[in-house]
Every structure is written in structure tokens, then in C-alpha cells.
């Protein structure tokens, strides 16, 4: 019993492979640009701390302190902001720096999850594309594989929509803000 044409599998898996590869590239490019923009924001905060332009006492936060703060882990940065004796005028910039780094870390994990799912979809489609002629000989197996592939692609698209929503709405303040108050 032959419902599908010999080329159906070739067309299906080739189209899905191309679509997944295109989405992979778009997500990757979007991720790179977003991370670069966030990193340039951190550089802006560093420059604001290094060159206070007379608003603050330069002795309160030296460039060595800024370099040391840059090398801290997120937990150490939060502790430094909360417990240090630096001038309160520097706290908003340090807090913004900390929040931006938190956004970058959250964003990177979202990108990695998306890329893993897309990579799995690409590998599945490559495998079935290679063996589509063999699969075509067995109608039941072919129909089940087509169905499972469609289900995976639908789940993948839904997951990507959720991940893109998270990318656009990454907010470190949704969790308990660990550096809200200094006291």
C-alpha cells in the first residue's frame, strides 16, 4: 500500500532541515547581537564609574576597585553592593551592572536550550533524509515517522516561541532581588 510518493520523505525532511537550519541561524544571530548590546551596556556602566566627571569623589571608587568588581562572581558582586562602604552614589551603576550581567547569564542559558532543541531537530531530519528511501519501503513505519516528526516540529516551534518570549522579557528582578537594600 503506497500512499506517499517516493519523494515525499525527501521533500519533507529536506524542507524541515532547511527550516530548522534557518531558525538556528536567526536565533544565533539574534543572540549574538543581544549579548553584544548587553555587554556594551556594561562597558557604559564601567565608564560611568571610571570617569565620574566631578559628580562623585574619585577616591571612593578607584579603577582598581572597578577591575576587582569586574572579576567577582555574581554572588560576590551582590555581596559587595550590599555590604561595601562605597559611596551611595555609585550603587545605582553597580546595581545596573549586576542586573545586566544577570540578564546576560539568563539569556545565554535560553539561547543554549533553543540551540540544543534545534540541533536535535536538525540531526533527526538529516537521519531521516538519508534513510528516506529505505523508510519508504515500509508504509507503517513511514507514516509513524512522518507523524512523530510533525509532532516534534510543532513542539519545537512552541518551545521556540516560549524561549523567544523569555529572550525579549528577561528580567533578573522577577526573582528575589538579593541586592535591593544595603542594610
Q: What is the pLDDT of residues 64-92, one digit of tens each?
A: 888 888 999 999 999 988 888 777 778 88
DSSP state of 8: H
CA 58, chain centre distance (Å):
37
User: 62 — phi, psi (to 5°)?
Assistant: -85, 170
Name the residue among 112, 110, 121, 124 with its Cα closest to residue 161.
110
Using an 8 Å Cβ cutoff, are 105 and 137 in contact? no
* pLDDT of the residue at 124: 92
Domain boundaries, the chain: 8-174
The mean per-residue pLDDT over the stretch 102-116 comes to: 90
* pLDDT of the residue at 30: 86
* pLDDT of the residue at 65: 82
In the predicted model, what is the mean pLDDT of the chain?
A: 83
When comparing pLDDT for 9 and 167, which is higher? 9
Distance between CA 26 and CA 29 in Å, rounded? 5
Distance between CA 49 and CA 63 in Å, rounded? 8
- Confidence class of residue 162 from pLDDT cuts 50, 70 and 90? confident
* pLDDT of the residue at 91: 84
Reply yes or no on whether the pLDDT at 182 is more than 80: no
When comparing pLDDT for 4 and 107, which is higher? 107
Using an 8 Å Cβ cutoff, are 8 and 138 in contact? no
Q: Taking the model in full, what pTM does it have? A: 0.72
The mean per-residue pLDDT over the stretch 114-129 comes to: 92
User: Apex CA 155: angle with CA 1 and CA 126, to 5°?
Assistant: 60
* pLDDT of the residue at 49: 79
Q: Which three cell numbers stand for residue 23?
A: 531558525
Distance between CA 100 and CA 31 in Å, rounded? 15
Name the residue among 16, 1, 3 with its Cα closest to residue 154.
16
pLDDT in tens, 8-58: 888 988 999 999 999 999 888 988 998 999 999 999 888 887 775 555 554
User: 138 — phi, psi (to 5°)?
Assistant: -120, 100
Distance between CA 1 and CA 8 in Å, rounded? 15
* pLDDT of the residue at 1: 58
Using an 8 Å Cβ cutoff, are 34 and 167 in contact? yes
* pLDDT of the residue at 60: 56
Q: Is 90 helix (H, G, I), strand (E, B) or coil?
A: coil
* pLDDT of the residue at 59: 47
Amino acid at each position: 500500500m503506497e500512499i506517499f510518493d517516493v519523494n515525499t520523505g525527501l521533500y519533507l525532511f529536506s524542507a524541515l532541515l532547511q527550516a530548522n537550519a534557518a531558525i538556528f541561524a536567526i536565533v544565533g544571530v539574534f543572540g549574538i547581537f543581544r549579548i553584544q548590546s548587553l555587554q556594551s551596556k556594561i562597558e557604559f556602566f564601567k565608564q560611568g564609574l571610571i570617569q565620574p566627571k566631578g559628580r562623585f569623589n574619585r577616591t571612593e571608587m578607584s579603577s582598581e576597585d572597578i577591575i576587582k568588581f569586574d572579576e567577582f562572581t555574581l554572588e560576590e558582586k551582590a555581596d559587595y553592593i550590599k555590604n561595601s562602604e562605597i559611596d551611595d552614589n555609585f550603587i545605582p551603576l553597580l546595581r545596573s551592572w549586576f542586573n545586566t550581567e544577570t540578564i546576560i547569564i539568563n539569556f545565554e542559558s535560553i539561547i543554549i536550550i533553543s540551540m540544543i532543541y534545534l540541533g536535535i531537530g536538525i540531526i533527526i531530519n538529516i537521519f531521516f533524509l538519508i534513510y528516506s528511501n529505505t523508510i519508504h519501503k515500509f508504509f507503517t513505519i513511514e507514516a509513524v515517522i512522518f507523524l512523530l516528526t510533525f509532532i516534534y516540529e510543532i513542539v519545537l516551534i512552541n518551545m521556540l516561541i516560549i524561549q523567544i518570549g523569555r529572550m525579549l522579557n528577561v528580567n533578573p528582578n522577577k526573582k528575589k532581588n538579593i541586592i535591593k537594600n544595603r542594610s
